[in-house]
Structure 1
Amino acid sequence: MLSVAVLISGAGSNLRALLAATGDPDFPARVIVVGADRQADGFAHAEQFGIPTIMVPFREFETREHWGEELQRQLEVWNPDLVVLSGLMRLLPPAVVDAWAPHLINTHPAYLPEFPGAHGVRDALASGAAQTGASVIVVDNGIDTGPILAQERVPILPDDTEHSLHERIKPVERRLLIDVVRRIAVGDLDLTTYDHH
């Protein structure tokens, strides 16, 4: 059984989908802890599913590195097989990435390498592109530059707003994430082949 830690900053809609999937006895992975860098709304999902939470408030640390050290200490207590970033709005310090990668994955609301960074949906709209997408990647020390594990195209409609486009991307992201976690758990996807060390 693959043990998974999920890190969030906000509402945790991907987290909720993952908790629902892993709550099925036949699903080969379990979320064992949910962490956040602030008091996140998504903790409510963890509570509902009876999953423990950890909070490492970013603002209480002098540097990103110090915050990362505490986050790393907390994660080591749980020792998950896989860490999923699910709307974590902080860049992990290199020491944390190096400790977990390639067993550290993230979703992104664009068809990478197109439109990396924090505003993938807005950037896709602004570019006038006919399509964007969703991706699941291994996290490395770049901005959305890690190896791509799964991705799928999502068309951009003429009357799309950033919100409407993002709402159509989210279900694709969730489905890809759940599928990638399942494939890792059953051994169809071997993350060690993506090791960046």
Structure 2
Amino acid sequence: MMDRSVGSGSPYRIAVFASGQGSNFQTLIDASHKGILGAEIVLLVCNKPEAPVVERARRAGIDCFLFERKAYSRREDYEAEIAAELERRGVDLIVLAGYMLLLTPVLVDAYQGRMINIHPSLLPSFPGKDAIGQAWSYGVKVTGVTVHLVDGGMDTGPVIAQKIVEIEQADTIEALEEKIRAAEHDLYPQVVNWFAEGRIRIDGRKITIS
């Protein structure tokens, strides 16, 4: 991948993909309302029309693209519709926030270097499902969260930023989950802001913040 700076244009427009409760989505909404996100959330994409995240979007006045996976014979079919909607709205960055469907090259290739995900571990440790449980069972003393570019693999994209979370002796797994959630809510809006301000530079797997 060529060295390039990412982020330009005003206002910077993002679409959030989510499938569940939407706590990270709400954090992005709150950051936008406070004027510290640097970006406009123009669309929520959700594959579960009854998910609580949809109500969060509606309360905030954010448009939704809702669909059900079972209505399509191929993943590529609904992703083509999503891609057309993103193009129509001039989306600069896709922000995955608990989106529970695998992505195909239809979106991954179209938004290479412009799609990010947050994962509840210090990648490359504990990729995939139940990362917090994996770290807890392994007995590590330090874990955290990672924001990375999406490259089509399972949490394999280049790392943009990480935040450390220490596991104390008195912690329960529930306490650790709460710490991880707080770290996610702190880090994700900051990374979106870096993109919006054009501060991200990508050179292969090496990402720097100007």
- TM-score using structure 2 length: 0.86
1:5 Cα deviation after fit: 0.3
Relative to structure 1, the CA distance from residue 161 to residue 58 in structure 2 (aligned partners, 3 Å threshold; closer, same or farther) is: farther
List gaps (5 residues or longer) in structure 2.
1-10, 206-210
Q: Which residue of 1 aligns with 2:43?
A: 33
Secondary structure of the residue aligned to 2:143 is strand
**What are the within-5 Å matches in structure 2 for residues 1-197 of structure 1?**
1-25=11-35, 27-39=37-49, 40-190=51-201, 193=203
List gaps (5 residues or longer) in structure 1.
none
1:62 Cα deviation after fit: 1.8
Question: Does the CA contact (< 8 Å) of 1:184 and 1:190 recur in 2?
Answer: no
Percent identity of the aligned residues? 35
Relative to structure 1, the CA distance from residue 164 to residue 185 in structure 2 (aligned partners, 3 Å threshold; closer, same or farther) is: same
Query: Residues 13-65 of structure 1: CA distance to partner in whole angstroms, max 9, x if unpaired?
Result: 00000011112346421101111011221111111111111112112112323
1:130 Cα deviation after fit: 1.0
CA distance in 2 between partners of 1:194 and 1:15 (Å):
28
CA distance in 2 between partners of 1:117 and 1:155 (Å):
20
Secondary structure of the residue aligned to 2:52 is coil
Secondary structure of the residue aligned to 1:90 is coil
Which structure exhibits the higher relative contact order, with contacts defined as CA atoms closer than 8 Å and separated by 6 or more residues? 2
1:75 Cα deviation after fit: 2.4
**How many residues align structurally?**
194
CA distance in 1 between partners of 2:183 and 2:117 (Å):
14
Secondary structure of the residue aligned to 2:169 is coil
- TM-score using structure 1 length: 0.91
Query: Residues 155-189 of structure 1: CA distance to partner in whole angstroms, max 9, x if unpaired?
Result: 12335444332211011112111101111111222
Secondary structure of the residue aligned to 1:190 is strand
Relative to structure 1, the CA distance from residue 13 to residue 64 in structure 2 (aligned partners, 3 Å threshold; closer, same or farther) is: same
Relative to structure 1, the CA distance from residue 64 to residue 26 in structure 2 (aligned partners, 3 Å threshold; closer, same or farther) is: closer
1:125 Cα deviation after fit: 0.8
Question: Does the CA contact (< 8 Å) of 1:56 and 1:71 recur in 2?
Answer: no
User: RMSD value over aligned CA atoms?
Assistant: 1.8
1:93 Cα deviation after fit: 1.1
Amino acid at match of 1:102: G
